[in-house]
Amino acid sequence: MLCERYLSASLCFRRRAITLLAVLLLAHSVTLAETPRPTEYQVKAAYLYNFGKFVEWPQSETSADFRLCVLGEDPFGASLDSTISSATIDGKKVQARRIAKPQESSGCRIVFVASSESGRVDRDLAALSSVAALTVSDMPNFLEHGGMIQFVESERRVRFEVNLKAAQQHGIHLSSELLKVALKVQQ
Protein backbone atom coordinates (compact mmCIF):
# COMPACT_ATOMS: atom_id res chain seq x y z
CA MET A 1 0.00 0.00 0.00
CA LEU A 2 1.00 3.63 -0.44
CA CYS A 3 0.87 4.27 3.30
CA GLU A 4 3.46 1.60 4.14
CA ARG A 5 5.70 2.49 1.20
CA TYR A 6 6.14 6.22 1.90
CA LEU A 7 5.41 6.64 5.64
CA SER A 8 6.70 5.10 8.83
CA ALA A 9 4.60 2.41 10.51
CA SER A 10 3.49 4.74 13.33
CA LEU A 11 2.38 7.48 10.92
CA CYS A 12 0.59 4.91 8.82
CA PHE A 13 -1.19 3.57 11.92
CA ARG A 14 -2.23 7.10 12.99
CA ARG A 15 -3.62 7.90 9.57
CA ARG A 16 -5.71 4.70 9.57
CA ALA A 17 -6.91 5.35 13.14
CA ILE A 18 -7.96 8.90 12.24
CA THR A 19 -9.74 7.66 9.13
CA LEU A 20 -11.55 4.99 11.15
CA LEU A 21 -12.51 7.52 13.82
CA ALA A 22 -13.86 9.91 11.18
CA VAL A 23 -15.95 7.12 9.63
CA LEU A 24 -17.32 6.13 13.06
CA LEU A 25 -18.19 9.73 13.95
CA LEU A 26 -19.91 10.21 10.62
CA ALA A 27 -21.91 7.01 11.08
CA HIS A 28 -22.87 8.06 14.63
CA SER A 29 -24.01 11.52 13.48
CA VAL A 30 -26.17 9.95 10.77
CA THR A 31 -27.74 7.68 13.41
CA LEU A 32 -28.42 10.67 15.67
CA ALA A 33 -29.96 12.59 12.78
CA GLU A 34 -32.34 9.70 12.12
CA THR A 35 -33.54 9.51 15.74
CA PRO A 36 -36.80 11.46 15.70
CA ARG A 37 -37.30 14.07 18.38
CA PRO A 38 -40.54 13.73 20.31
CA THR A 39 -43.29 16.01 19.12
CA GLU A 40 -44.59 18.86 21.26
CA TYR A 41 -47.69 16.88 22.19
CA GLN A 42 -45.74 13.72 22.99
CA VAL A 43 -43.78 15.78 25.53
CA LYS A 44 -46.99 17.32 26.89
CA ALA A 45 -48.59 13.87 27.17
CA ALA A 46 -45.61 12.68 29.21
CA TYR A 47 -45.92 15.73 31.45
CA LEU A 48 -49.65 15.08 32.00
CA TYR A 49 -48.95 11.52 33.05
CA ASN A 50 -46.13 12.59 35.37
CA PHE A 51 -48.20 15.38 36.95
CA GLY A 52 -50.47 12.65 38.29
CA LYS A 53 -47.57 11.22 40.28
CA PHE A 54 -46.89 14.50 42.09
CA VAL A 55 -50.40 15.61 43.06
CA GLU A 56 -52.62 14.78 46.02
CA TRP A 57 -56.35 15.20 45.57
CA PRO A 58 -58.74 16.14 48.41
CA GLN A 59 -60.84 12.98 48.58
CA SER A 60 -60.00 9.39 47.86
CA GLU A 61 -61.28 8.29 44.48
CA THR A 62 -63.07 4.98 44.42
CA SER A 63 -62.90 4.35 40.69
CA ALA A 64 -60.72 1.51 39.45
CA ASP A 65 -58.84 3.74 37.00
CA PHE A 66 -57.05 7.09 36.94
CA ARG A 67 -58.78 9.28 34.33
CA LEU A 68 -56.85 11.80 32.32
CA CYS A 69 -59.38 13.80 30.29
CA VAL A 70 -59.08 16.13 27.32
CA LEU A 71 -61.77 18.81 27.09
CA GLY A 72 -62.40 20.13 23.57
CA GLU A 73 -60.66 19.28 20.29
CA ASP A 74 -57.95 16.73 21.10
CA PRO A 75 -54.51 18.04 20.01
CA PHE A 76 -52.72 14.87 21.18
CA GLY A 77 -53.97 12.36 18.64
CA ALA A 78 -52.48 8.97 19.46
CA SER A 79 -49.63 10.50 21.54
CA LEU A 80 -51.60 10.52 24.76
CA ASP A 81 -52.87 6.96 24.37
CA SER A 82 -49.43 5.59 23.51
CA THR A 83 -47.82 7.43 26.44
CA ILE A 84 -50.21 5.92 28.98
CA SER A 85 -50.87 2.57 27.30
CA SER A 86 -49.60 0.48 30.21
CA ALA A 87 -49.17 3.20 32.83
CA THR A 88 -50.45 3.21 36.39
CA ILE A 89 -50.68 5.87 39.08
CA ASP A 90 -51.20 4.82 42.69
CA GLY A 91 -51.90 1.29 41.47
CA LYS A 92 -54.68 2.44 39.12
CA LYS A 93 -54.56 2.03 35.35
CA VAL A 94 -54.37 5.39 33.60
CA GLN A 95 -57.16 5.91 31.05
CA ALA A 96 -57.46 8.74 28.53
CA ARG A 97 -60.92 10.12 27.95
CA ARG A 98 -62.06 12.78 25.50
CA ILE A 99 -64.92 14.98 26.66
CA ALA A 100 -66.90 17.64 24.82
CA LYS A 101 -68.26 19.50 27.87
CA PRO A 102 -66.94 20.07 31.39
CA GLN A 103 -70.10 18.44 32.72
CA GLU A 104 -68.70 15.12 31.43
CA SER A 105 -65.63 15.40 33.68
CA SER A 106 -66.92 13.29 36.56
CA GLY A 107 -64.11 10.98 37.69
CA CYS A 108 -61.41 12.93 35.82
CA ARG A 109 -58.28 13.53 37.90
CA ILE A 110 -56.53 15.69 35.32
CA VAL A 111 -58.38 17.75 32.71
CA PHE A 112 -56.39 19.16 29.80
CA VAL A 113 -58.37 22.12 28.45
CA ALA A 114 -57.67 22.30 24.71
CA SER A 115 -57.13 25.65 23.01
CA SER A 116 -60.40 25.08 21.12
CA GLU A 117 -62.04 26.07 24.44
CA SER A 118 -60.37 29.51 24.59
CA GLY A 119 -63.66 31.36 24.09
CA ARG A 120 -65.28 29.37 26.91
CA VAL A 121 -62.37 29.00 29.33
CA ASP A 122 -63.97 30.98 32.19
CA ARG A 123 -67.22 29.03 31.89
CA ASP A 124 -65.35 25.71 31.59
CA LEU A 125 -63.19 26.36 34.66
CA ALA A 126 -66.25 27.41 36.67
CA ALA A 127 -67.98 24.14 35.72
CA LEU A 128 -64.82 22.14 36.52
CA SER A 129 -64.62 23.68 40.00
CA SER A 130 -67.20 21.15 41.21
CA VAL A 131 -64.78 18.34 40.30
CA ALA A 132 -61.48 17.95 42.15
CA ALA A 133 -59.44 17.88 38.95
CA LEU A 134 -56.06 19.35 38.13
CA THR A 135 -56.66 21.72 35.21
CA VAL A 136 -53.91 22.01 32.60
CA SER A 137 -53.73 23.82 29.26
CA ASP A 138 -51.36 25.32 26.73
CA MET A 139 -53.59 28.26 25.86
CA PRO A 140 -52.17 31.71 26.64
CA ASN A 141 -53.21 33.32 29.95
CA PHE A 142 -54.71 30.08 31.26
CA LEU A 143 -53.38 30.74 34.76
CA GLU A 144 -54.92 34.23 34.84
CA HIS A 145 -58.32 32.63 34.16
CA GLY A 146 -57.90 30.33 37.17
CA GLY A 147 -56.24 27.31 35.55
CA MET A 148 -53.69 25.41 37.62
CA ILE A 149 -50.90 24.47 35.20
CA GLN A 150 -50.05 26.10 31.88
CA PHE A 151 -47.61 24.71 29.33
CA VAL A 152 -45.24 27.33 27.92
CA GLU A 153 -42.28 27.25 25.58
CA SER A 154 -38.93 28.35 26.97
CA GLU A 155 -35.69 28.08 25.03
CA ARG A 156 -37.39 25.79 22.49
CA ARG A 157 -38.47 23.37 25.23
CA VAL A 158 -41.88 22.59 26.68
CA ARG A 159 -42.03 23.82 30.27
CA PHE A 160 -44.86 24.69 32.62
CA GLU A 161 -46.00 27.37 35.03
CA VAL A 162 -48.19 26.83 38.09
CA ASN A 163 -51.03 28.80 39.71
CA LEU A 164 -50.60 27.47 43.25
CA LYS A 165 -53.50 29.48 44.66
CA ALA A 166 -55.97 27.97 42.16
CA ALA A 167 -54.83 24.44 43.04
CA GLN A 168 -55.07 25.10 46.78
CA GLN A 169 -58.55 26.61 46.42
CA HIS A 170 -59.70 23.27 45.02
CA GLY A 171 -57.95 21.24 47.72
CA ILE A 172 -55.29 19.99 45.32
CA HIS A 173 -51.79 19.68 46.79
CA LEU A 174 -48.86 19.94 44.37
CA SER A 175 -45.66 18.35 45.68
CA SER A 176 -42.55 20.42 46.25
CA GLU A 177 -40.75 18.29 43.63
CA LEU A 178 -43.26 19.40 41.00
CA LEU A 179 -43.00 23.04 42.05
CA LYS A 180 -39.19 22.92 41.85
CA VAL A 181 -39.23 22.05 38.15
CA ALA A 182 -41.90 24.61 37.26
CA LEU A 183 -40.62 27.56 35.26
CA LYS A 184 -42.72 29.91 37.39
CA VAL A 185 -45.02 29.47 40.41
CA GLN A 186 -47.72 32.05 41.04
CA GLN A 187 -48.65 32.30 44.70
Give pLDDT, residue 35. Answer: 77
pLDDT tens-digit map of 23-53:
444 444 444 556 789 999 999 999 999 999 9
- Same-domain check for residues 116 and 148: yes
pLDDT tens-digit map of 65-109:
999 999 999 999 999 999 999 999 999 999 999 999 999 999 999
- Same-domain check for residues 58 and 93: yes
Q: Indicate the residue type of 144.
A: E
Give pLDDT, residue 59. Answer: 74
- Same-domain check for residues 88 and 177: yes
- Same-domain check for residues 57 and 115: yes
Give mean pLDDT, residues 46-64: 88
- Same-domain check for residues 21 and 104: no
Burial of 153 (0-12, 13-18, 19+ CB in 10 A): exposed
Per-residue pLDDT for 20 more than 50? Answer: no
**CA dihedral (107, 159, 113, 186) positive or negative:** positive
Structural domain for 27, as ranges: 2-34
* Residues 36-66: b if buried by 16+ CB within 10 A, e if exposed: eeeebbbbbbbbbbebbeebebeeeeeeeeb
- Same-domain check for residues 17 and 109: no
- Same-domain check for residues 138 and 83: yes
- Same-domain check for residues 75 and 49: yes
Q: How confident is the model at residue 181 (pLDDT cuts 50, 70, 90)?
A: very high
As for how many domains the chain has, the answer is 2
